Amino acid sequence: MLMQNVKGTFDFFGNEQLLRKKTQSVLQEVFELYDFDGMDSTMLNELDLLTSKYAGGDEIVKEMYQLTDQGMRNLGLRYDLTIPFAKVIALNPSIELPYKRYEIGKVFRDGPVKRGRLREFLQCDVDIVGVEGPEAEAELMQVAVEAFKRLNVPITLRWNNRKFLGEILEKNGVTSDEKLSVMLTLDKIEKIGNEGVVKELISKGLDPQVTSALTELIQIDDSSFEYLSNKYNIEKSKGSLEVHALQQLIDKLELDKACQFDPFLSRGLSFYTGTVYEIFDASKTFTSSLGGGGRYDAIIGKLVGREDIQYPTVGISFGMESIMEMIKNRPIQLPQPVVVVLPIGETVSVVLKTAAVLRSNGIRTGLEISKRKLKKSLSSVAAKGIRFVILIGEDEANAGMIRLKDMKEKTEIVVTLEEAIKRIEYERKSVL
């Protein structure tokens, strides 16, 4: 069958598109209040960039759409907004640091399709480059809390620090070669449960003593930062100091209710170097992540190939498709015309001209030129809750007048268009 959408892709229109756009506006407004600068990076990218070892890593590259152009260049569709951002910073040394950007755009992943997870989907990202932290981390948490507050979605933001987790793993005998792989497994606790994690750890062929230490670790009663740093005697380690500093800020900013430390969170991507975040629905009606991010200090410098410039960077991404899964049933009213203009007889040209004048005056105007019976047209207008109708018959047209019907007041007057515009605007303002 020719007519079908590609698996995992959807068209949006009507109420759904309106709600999507409103959600994007809310996010954009918050991003701009927080003084982030808008960006629109390329969707097509050099394959080498997307598969570079500093980029997303094997897991994500497997799901990348690849293509070639007529010049046989190897390209890929972006799978996130992070690598393209790193590219923009690397390519534009004139950008003054610290730099804060936001971007709302589509990304593509050829992966499993489920609720809130599509193959072509919208991400909304903010990133700060040039601040070592933890102020930048805390500011992104503020952005997330403010944005979801405005969206009226209760969230829990879980956070961790990869260095700290790495230090704990070391203390449990995990070698540096095994570290990333073990982290990726621990990250799945929510998804596959403790048993699933243990099974996967065993399958990795770690030293049995290490596996049993890790099994004990994930079943620990008290997984607080204080308990763990004390238990492993790493209170003064680099990771511990970072966690401590950010926790202090979170407490002072009174973000501690929404932002909870989780020592087993690590996020799938290999490029994170410090703090990682993941945002969840606090009401737990929706279990997938609503967004996430983290610090990736190493990528830009490595892409640029200059070890002498520091590009400490931290970002957070909001997933539009997950957010929509949570709010899609909210009532929303498609914008309606303020006034509908109707011809009676051969007055279509006058109707079109009248409509253009109304529109250039900032009045959203509909046309009813479908040649239905007048009564039908009027009842359709009434059903939509549209208040004003302008009828133009040949008599009115010849006299340079229009017939203004107020469907609410049930009045009808013959006036000039200027007079009608005044009345419509007066009534609109008195409603606002």
Which residue ranges are tagged as binding site for L-histidine?
80-82, 109, 123, 127, 267
Instruction: State which residue, 21 or 204, has the beta carbon closest to its own copies.
Output: 21
Give CA–CA dist 80/61, Å, rounded. 11
Residue type at 221 in one-letter notation: D
Residue type at 335 in one-letter notation: P
Instruction: State which residue, 52 or 260, has the beta carbon closest to its own copies.
Output: 52
Beta bridge partners of 319: 123
Give CA–CA dist 160/186, Å, rounded. 12
Instruction: State which residue, 352 or 413, has the beta carbon closest to its own copies.
Output: 352
Least distance between its own copies and beta carbon 172 (Å): 33
Three-class SS state of 400: coil
Q: Under a CB-based contact definition with an 8 Å cutoff, are residues 295 and 272 in contact?
A: yes
Least distance between its own copies and beta carbon 318 (Å): 17
Least distance between its own copies and beta carbon 323 (Å): 15
Instruction: State which residue, 54 or 178, has the beta carbon closest to its own copies.
Output: 54
Most distant CA pair in the chain, distance: 96
Least distance between its own copies and beta carbon 410 (Å): 24
Instruction: State which residue, 25 or 194, has the beta carbon closest to its own copies.
Output: 25
Closest CA relative to residue 261, chosen from 374, 146, 165, 121 = 165
Binding-site residue set = 80-82, 109, 123, 127, 267
Least distance between its own copies and beta carbon 270 (Å): 18
Closest CA relative to residue 102, chosen from 271, 311, 267, 315 = 315
In 330-431, where does DSSP find H-type helix? 348-360, 374-383, 394-399, 417-431
CA distances from 203 to 176, 182, 199, 208, 355 (A): 18, 11, 6, 11, 70
